[in-house]
Amino acid sequence: MVLSGAMVRSVLLIGSRIALMGALAAVTWSSLAPPDDLPSEIALSDKLLHGIAYAVLGVVAALAQRRPRVILTVLLLTAFGLLMEVLQDRTTYRTFDLADLYADALGAAIGVVVVAWPMRLAERRRARSDGA
């Protein structure tokens, strides 16, 4: 059985959406778990970890869309980061940190753009070659 290009794209889209749910769950757990429950072997800055986590979310969120909506996706991921910070503030072992939210937003923007930009360039090339 040979899969068509459309079928492959649909399978990748579904896989990306499942991966997004897993990534959101992982970020939620790591954001709300007590610090003692988190791996201590990772010797990176807290802000860098936030940026990396949200860059991964941005990549997966962009891949989970047929045509990524860059601004909307970054805003939604930033809102998710804000929700995590507010929920952290409601615990006895975490606090709200605006710098974490900035790192989340920057990471999300980088992640989304890294995927969306090449997708848009490829789309424009296809449109030009179809019109030629």
CA 65 to chain centre: 12
Q: Give 113's contacts (C-beta < 8 A, 6+ positions apart).
A: 58, 70
Supply 16's token pair: 């990306």
> pTM for this one?
0.88
> The tokens of 62 are what?
């962009």
For residues 96 and 23, give the distance between their C-alpha atoms in angstroms, rounded to a whole number. 21
| The two three-digit tokens of residue 77, written as one number | 């991921």
pLDDT of residue 38: 80
Per-residue pLDDT of the chain (132 residues; tens, 9 = 90+): 677 878 888 999 999 999 999 999 999 999 999 988 887 767 678 899 999 999 999 999 999 999 999 999 999 999 999 999 999 999 999 999 999 999 999 999 999 999 999 988 988 888 888 766
